[in-house]
Chain A
Amino acid sequence: MLSFIVRRLLQTLPIILAVAAIIFVLFSVIPGTFASSMSDDGRSVLDAEVMARMNKEFGYDDPVYIRFGKYIADLATFDLGTSFRSRQPVTSVIADRLWPTAQLTLASMLFAIAMGVPLGFIAALRPGSWVDMVSMVTAVSGLSLPKFWLGLMLMYLFALVLGWLPSFGYGDGSLRYLILPSIALGVAPMALLARTTRAAVLEIMNADFVRTARAKGMSERRVVQWHLTRNALVIVLTTIGLQFGTVIGQAVVVEKLFAWPGLGSLLVDSVTLRDIPVVQGSILVIVLLFLLINMLVDVLCAIIDPRIKYS
């Protein structure tokens, strides 16, 4: 078991390196530098001398391969560089933003799981019933609504019209501020989970071993408890893992909309300012989170499903 986890961790190393390289190349070829972003239109020259000095200071006059070498060497010591803007180490800039993002993604995934899985389950146990219809219509609309639009509607209804919840911001970090953004972010994975759960349960309902269970004289409730749930869980768990990654990525939109001080809004701001070390660092951390969550899901699946081998 432990060696399985260690091996999975080692497998993520080449992926991280590849991602680091892609990000680096990407931000080396896009036009504009931190210096040029200082000007109004992002292109015109402030003052040739100032620009040259800033570029030199940030190491931009070195050739690309030397900069890449430095970057990787720093990475090996967990040094993500220094932010151009705040002059702070990127690691600490990101660390400040990590918790709000973790809160947001966890809350939205909890919402998605708590709503989507039971919804799909109930729908599958009564296919064709009104419960099924309602939940699947909800699921399809949930998947089709754009997040920013949904967020705006939530703000309008719950903050402006009803006045129950704050419209945006992190506030004092209390749960009240978390509710609207996590719903806006959680509706799509909720819908997808409902559909996946429904499909998984329906598929297993028709499996041969469920027929065997019925032939044993088991009641439908027992069939669900003893044979169906565990089998459906493997499929649902995999979907949850994948959705977690998607949610971290999509948090960018919602964080920006709700002025949520997370990794996503940090990323957007840093791209506009060409604060390259922060951009590279945030993307890398997001990728890392994605990999870690998927590894966790793989481990859980391996615990549930004996057919997945540890070795």
Chain B
Amino acid sequence: MSEQPLLEVENLRIDLTVGGTKFPAVQDVSFTIKRGETFGLVGESGCGKSITSLALIGLLRHPLSIGAGTIRFDGREIQALSPGEMRKLRGDRISMIFQEPMTALNPLSPIGRQIAEMFVLHRGATWKEAERLSIEALANVRVPAPERRIKDYPHQLSGGMRQRVMIAIALACEPDLLLADEPTTALDVTVQAEILELIRDLSAAKGTAVLMISHDLGLIANMCRRVGVMYAGRLVEERFATEVFQSPSHPYTSGLVASLPLLGARSKYGRQRLKEISGVVPPVAAFPTGCRFNPRCYAATEVCGTEDPGVTPLARGGLVRCHHHE
């Protein structure tokens, strides 16, 4: 098989238009995902992870729009596609799972019908065939008694069950790429593990590449081969997941790693305050000059406030965007 990556994102910029002024909410973001690979995007809320994924599936809506850069999916530039061609791609070859399973399903439509729509839209199936296929799809996401469940409405299901339905919808047409935008954030911890396992198993079985978005570095490190760390609309570090934990390069990544609560830490080291990164992510209209992390950075020097750091390749593979990377 050719080594052409499934997804190539190059210098992506996403503009937020407010009253005629454009602010770059996401800037200079580049990464690639190979077929069957799991890639994680991590960062605090407001870093631009979700809008990056929406850009990939062509669902950015006013006031957000792609300002510059290219997104190539399977060798084709998706910005060059007509709306009709993009629609064929959406759901069929790129699909998406959202954060809130409570509201992401139509409350007035039985779940079976909502899954069946995928087969009618992309496979030209009749509603009858599609119903049979949706029972199979539900069985695949390990929903018990799927032939009875298809008649249920979303409000009759638990959060975990709803997210399973969302996964069934997203994987119905066996896409090449699955975008999972915080798929477990709204769920109980025990359910989280089940859902993640489900995503991992199903995507591995069909060779589906996954872009996993989360603010939870632990989860990302568990699920993904490679990780991109985003801060204030920029990719600040990109590494193999295992290395991010052992030797984070960017001070922001170090901060994220240090702020992870450790199970058993209290009995080992005594009661300690959890580490945190002071300050908050700046709003899009007020990104600082120079390195965008410099006001919150412990290692910041004068140059950080004036000059935008470029991308430095790391010795063991990966990239970092910092003047003082370790």
Contact = CB atoms under 8 A, between A and B. Distances in A.
Nearest to B153: A306
Nearest to A234: B108
Contact of B105 (A212, A217, A222): A212
Contacts of A234: 108
Interface stretch (B91-99, B218-226, B272-280): B91-99
Interface in B214-272: none
A208 B104 contact: yes
B33 to A, nearest CB: 18
A120 B169 CA distance: 32
Contact of A217 (B103, B106, B122, B166): B122
Query: Number of contact residues on B: which range applies?
Result: 20 to 34
A213 B155 contact: no
Q: Which of B57, B103, B108, B166 has the most CB of A within 10 A?
A: B108
A216 B105 contact: no
Interface string A190-222: 000000000000000001110111111111001
B170 to A, nearest CB: 8
Nearest to B88: A217
Interface in A293-311: 304-307
A231 B107 CA distance: 8
Nearest to A210: B106
A216 B108 contact: no
B283 to A, nearest CB: 21
A227 interface: yes
Contacts of A126: none
Contact of B98 (A211, A218, A231, A306): A211
A306 B157 CA distance: 13
A99 interface: no
A230 interface: yes
Interface string B104-121: 111111000000011001
Given A215-B90, A217-B87, A226 B105 contact: no
Nearest to B169: A216
A231 B153 contact: no
Contacts of A217: 87-92, 121-122
A98 B210 CA distance: 66
A231 B106 contact: yes
Interface residues of A, number: 22
Contact of B106 (A213, A215, A219, A304): A213
Contacts of A209: 103-107
B103 A208 contact: yes
B87 A230 contact: no
Main SS class of interface, A: helix
Nearest to B156: A306
Interface string B65-97: 000000000000000000000011111100110
A219 to B, nearest CB: 6
Contacts of A216: 90-91, 95, 117-118, 121, 169
B87 A218 contact: yes
Nearest to B92: A217
B117 A218 contact: yes
Given A215-B95, A218-B117, A218-B121, A306 B90 contact: no
B166 to A, nearest CB: 8
Contacts of B100: 208
Which of B96, B105, B106 is most buried by chain A, counting CB atoms within 10 A of its CB?
B106
Contact of A212 (B88, B89, B98, B122): B98
Interface in A223-246: 226-227, 230-231, 234
Interface of B: 57, 59, 87-92, 95-96, 98, 100, 103-109, 117-118, 121-122, 153, 155, 166, 169
A231 B154 CA distance: 14
Contacts of A219: 87
Nearest to A231: B108
Contacts of B104: 208-209, 211-212
A307 B153 contact: yes
5 contacts: A209-B103, A216-B95, A217-B90, A217-B121, A307-B155
Nearest to B93: A217
Contacts of B95: 215-216
Contacts of A304: 108
Given A226-B117, A306-B155, A307-B153, A215 B107 contact: no
B107 to A, nearest CB: 6
> Which of A209, A211, A214: most chain B Cβ within 10 A?
A209
A272 B108 CA distance: 51
Contact of B108 (A211, A213, A218, A306): A306
Nearest to A206: B61
Given A207-B103, A215-B90, 15 more contacts: A208-B104, A209-B104, A209-B106, A211-B59, A212-B106, A214-B59, A215-B91, A216-B95, A216-B121, A216-B169, A217-B88, A217-B91, A218-B91, A231-B106, A307-B153
A230 B108 contact: yes
Nearest to B115: A216
Contacts of A218: 87, 91, 117, 121
Contacts of B57: 215
Give the most central of A208, A219, A222, A231: most B CB within 10 Å.
A208
Q: Which 4 A-B pairs have the closest CB atoms?
A: A217-B91, A217-B90, A208-B103, A216-B91
Contacts of B103: 207-209
Nearest to A205: B61
Contacts of A215: 57, 59, 90-91, 95-96, 98
Contacts of B121: 216-218, 222
The residue in A207, A211, A219, A222 that gathers the most chain B C-beta atoms within 10 A of its C-beta is A211
